[in-house]
Chains A and B, each alone.
Chain A
Amino acid sequence: MINFGIDLGTTNSAIAKFEKGQVVIFRNPIGQKDTLPSVVAFRQNRIVVGDKAREYLAKAPKRVIGSFKRKMGTNETYQVEGVQGAISPADLSAYVLKELKNFVHTGEKVESAVITIPASFDTVQSNATRKAGEYAGFESVKLLQEPIAASLAYANQDEADKFEEGQWLVYDLGGGTFDVALIKIHDGEMQVLDHEGDNFLGGTDFDQAIVEQLLIPHLEEKGKFEDLLNQMRSASGKYNGLYHKLLLLAEDAKVQLSTQPDAEIEFETEDDEGNELEILFTIKRAEFEAILAPYLEKTLEMMRNIVQRNSLNPEQLKFVLMVGGSTYIPYVREQVAQQLNIEVNTRIDPTTAVAVGAAFYAGTQSTKRSAPAVEIPMGDTQFQGIQVKVAYQKATQELTEYFTAKFEGKTEGLFYRITRGDGGFDTGLKPLQEQIEEDLPLVKDTFNTFSLRVLDEQNNSLPLDVPAIGITQGRYSVVGQPLPNDICLEVDDVENLTTVLEVVFEKNTVLPVRKTITKQITRTIAKGSNEHLTISIVEGPGTALPAANQTIGFIRISGTELERDLIAGSDVEITLEMSESRDLSIQAYLMMTDQEYENAFSPSERAVNVPRLAEELYALADKIRKEIEEAEMQDNYETAQKLVDLEYEILDIADKCKRLKEDDVTDTKFQLEDQKRKIARKVDEITRDKYLIRVKQEYFKVKREMEDVLEYYTPGEEDQKLFTKMMNEEKSTLSTNSTLKIQELINRVRRLSFRIKWNNSNFIRNFFMQLRNGWYGTFTSPAKAQDLIRQGDQAIEVGNDARLRQVINALLALLPPAARNQINSGGTGIG
């Protein structure tokens, strides 16, 4: 079997494969498009095929060649500066075919293919195409006419009407060319009966018309310009840059107009007198269609010619099969349908139909080697002796990295190509030399991978033992040091009236790092009050007690500094930044008061705030006392005794701290802080297991409740999926042994549980009744609440759940903050 089908188009080409009854389109690994522009560029020391070559087509015509398909089979050749000998259209087609081989990511060799040709191609042109296939290294090439290929793409669709007899038209309007063909099927065999075409008519003409007929007149109205059209179209013209921009915007608008009644084009420019113009131009579909009409008329005329020439009545034609990207335009479809009053068939993808049809045909053909048209003295075995050594720096701060490779063995007649893993860089085909050098561009802050391939003249990869090229840019650089410990933010655990750690930067993250997190204020801080908000950043295990870790920076915001009350539930945006040399900067932005605070800390200025230290010491002493009581209640006297010893120590430190002045300049505060941390770690070690077990027990309890909810209420598919996802995370979360992470999972399960219940009529009715009966406290505005309760009763009566939910939300808003936020007298104030 041949399997591969290739659409070798005038403007664009594509490759597809038939396998197990299905056709797969191979995408360009560079840019992930289905098609490859049929353009070849000979740039200084490399050959570039496709999108990049097309970019240079208009500006460097001597070295960039496109539309060569029109010259297939002629003796016309191209002379390219710096390239020895003349280049034939078949040579150029071979470059396109070789590049298409590169699309085949499965690793299989493309040895045989069906290549499509226009219906108009004569024998010489057809043979030239076959020759191009041989130049490209195909052992077997079969040709297929494009309208037949498109028809096969349709006929092989599952939903296609199956017929053995009949006629239809194939209308192919692409980016730059137009063809129309009459196809006949007789006894199941397809044949092109007639065809017409225009090699200079397609979608790019429409873009140009939008710019020249709509945008330029509009610009001339808005500003002062002389000879704007020429200044745009001329390469040396003042507005040539704007012209190219407008062509791109026009193309975008054209695509939008296929689905929308109008499209907007927005741009800025200056007129001849330097006045700035801000243009927002709306194109209506009717305007676009008026522009399109004369172009379309040409295609319709060709179509009518075919119909008349063949003495056909519309009823003798089954349909007009639409092929080519420009047939997406609704107006094109409408006009074609109106002209012949027959069905317009748009059931195939117009951009890939020809390649798909070619692949279907290939799937039915057996391989037969064709005699090579030229001697191609290439083969894998000849080059197996090639050895390569590569050199480059594996990590860099630069945005490009110098790469060199030395090859041993015969390099003549071979090429190399280096591409970046994400598809953002491609050297193109370059002649292989004993030593090659490249500046490889890197994506910032990323591990960049590159592949180096050595290719023969037919673009077949040679087996070569090249290790993967990997270069880290920026933060992964060896210059950046990994963090030895977690960096955490201390947040309130409102439920347990304590504080816990939330990891901001994980251990081993490479510096520098920056992150912004948004937290909620857990308690209201009144303007002018002595209450405060503390942003405390600590270094140490995220699973440990806050006091066990070292405070490396904090910001304390007092009520006296506030410009208005800071209400519980409002957001604080905290940005942490740590440089490579471990300087920490904290920025806090209070959304509600629009106030910003900033503090920078560096290792040379260890930050210990005496009042804060004292607070922490007493909090730790309290915690130890509670732990002692708990241990004694459980008759765990050994643990209790250890904790009692620690309590003495901590009270001693607290006493020393109390005697320190806030501006003490000695090392004492640092020593005390160190001692505090050591004690906290000991407390942590003694008690951690207990908390972990508790939170794990809590998790399993919540999970069981959730399972009940799933059984009792009927969750939607999305909620069911979400729960499955959470369960998939269960193992990894529990194994972190982080109480915080397990707690997070508990909260997520709880939220989901509530959401499922919230969507249930019985649940919201009960919830409403509980609110109504004052279970959650007295409403701040009884009159309003009464009115809402009345509305809630009505909603229940008429079974309006949506309204009932609104009423519940409104009632919740009438509950006093105390009922909604548990009063938390300590902690940081953020959670």
Chain B
Amino acid sequence: MDQTSLSHTSLLPLVNQLFDLEKKLNKLENGQKAQRNLRRMRESLEDLGLFFHDPLGERYDETRTDCEASIAGEYSENLVITEVLKPIIHLKEGPSVQLLQLGLVIVAAKQSK
């Protein structure tokens, strides 16, 4: 397919579905069987310049403008991302990097060990 005929934005729903699929299959016992297909789909998107990232477990504060967050639970200054509804999607074309989709996340106080 001619790559330039595709709009990257129009592929975002596909990326989000793939992200969900990855999450679901990772939970399944036999999910490993589909890993190759998932990886290939991810790499095909990467060939088009679309890279998605799951920020689960990462530190969160107001400087992170790559995510839209809802703060759950009691307020804390020490927040982590506890759930990711949509991944962060970047478009990389040569040296240029563009944020195509903000991550949609739930954050909560980091649990002390």
Contacts and interface: CB of A to CB of B under 8 A. Distances in A.
Asked whether A and B interact, the reply is: yes
B21 to A, nearest CB: 12
A725 B65 CA distance: 37
Interface in B57-73: 61-66, 68-73
A304 interface: no
B50 interface: no
Interface size classification for chain A:
35 or more
B70 A443 contact: no
Contacts, number: 108
Interface stretch (A417-425, A543-551, A686-694, A760-768): A417-425
B83 interface: yes
B53 to A, nearest CB: 7
A12 to B, nearest CB: 14
A196 B72 CA distance: 35
Main secondary structure of the interface of A (DSSP, over half): mixed
A48 interface: yes
Contact of A425 (B40, B65, B71, B77): B65
A446 B72 CA distance: 32
A248 B106 CA distance: 10
A1 interface: no
Interface in A192-244: 235-236, 240-244
Interface string A449-468: 00000000000000000000
A757 B69 CA distance: 53
A807 B97 CA distance: 48
Nearest to B67: A424
A30 B67 CA distance: 11
A55 B70 contact: yes
Contacts of A56: 62, 71, 75
A446 B97 contact: yes
Contact of A424 (B5, B40, B70, B99): B99
Interface string A35-53: 0000001011010100111
Contacts of A51: 65, 68
Contact of B68 (A44, A55, A236, A446): A55
B81 to A, nearest CB: 11
A589 B4 contact: no
A59 interface: yes
Contact of B82 (A44, A235, A241, A443): A241
A60 interface: yes
Contact of B63 (A32, A53, A428, A444): A428
15 contacts: A41-B62, A44-B77, A56-B75, A59-B71, A235-B75, A236-B74, A240-B72, A241-B73, A244-B71, A245-B72, A248-B70, A249-B85, A425-B64, A425-B65, A446-B90
Q: What 8 A-B pairs are tightest by C-beta distance, nearest first?
A: A424-B66, A241-B72, A244-B70, A59-B75, A52-B62, A422-B99, A30-B65, A426-B65
Interface of B: 2, 4-5, 36, 39-40, 43, 53, 61-66, 68-75, 77, 82-83, 85, 88, 90, 92, 95, 97-99, 102, 104, 106, 108
Interface of A: 30-32, 41, 43-44, 46, 48, 51-53, 55-56, 58-60, 235-236, 240-245, 247-249, 419, 421-428, 441, 443-444, 446-448, 515-516, 573, 589, 718, 722, 725
